């Protein structure tokens, strides 16, 4: 705790995720006053037919 679940579109590289978890953990440690070890981050990578906004799949928004 804090526990962070990030849903994002698939396609990011491991290096992008590496930098992201490092920077997000720093941001939380420095603002919520907790230890780095306390911060757990779980990434759910989803496809563009599994995400919608305004009633339209992301898949269809790109056409």
Shortest distance (Å) from residue 8 CB to a copy of itself:
4
For residue 36, indicate whether it is catalytic: no
Instruction: Tell me if 61 contacts a copy of itself by CB under 8 A.
Output: no
Which whole-number Å values give the CA distances from 27 to 8, 20, 59, in the listed order? 19, 10, 32
- Of 1, 2, 44, 46, which one is the catalytic site residue? 2
8 Å CB contact between 25 and 39? yes
Which positions lie near a copy of itself, rule CB under 8 A? 1-9, 12, 14, 16-28, 30-33, 36-37, 39-46, 49-60
**Catalytic residue numbers, as ranges:** 2
């Amino acid at each position: 705790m804090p526990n962070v679940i990030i849903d994002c579109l698939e396609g990011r590289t491991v290096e992008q995720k590496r930098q992201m978890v490092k920077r997000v953990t720093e941001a939380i440690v420095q603002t919520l006053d907790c230890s780095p070890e306390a911060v757990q981050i779980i990434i759910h990578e989803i496809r563009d037919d599994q995400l919608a906004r305004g009633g339209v799949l992301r898949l269809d928004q790109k056409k």
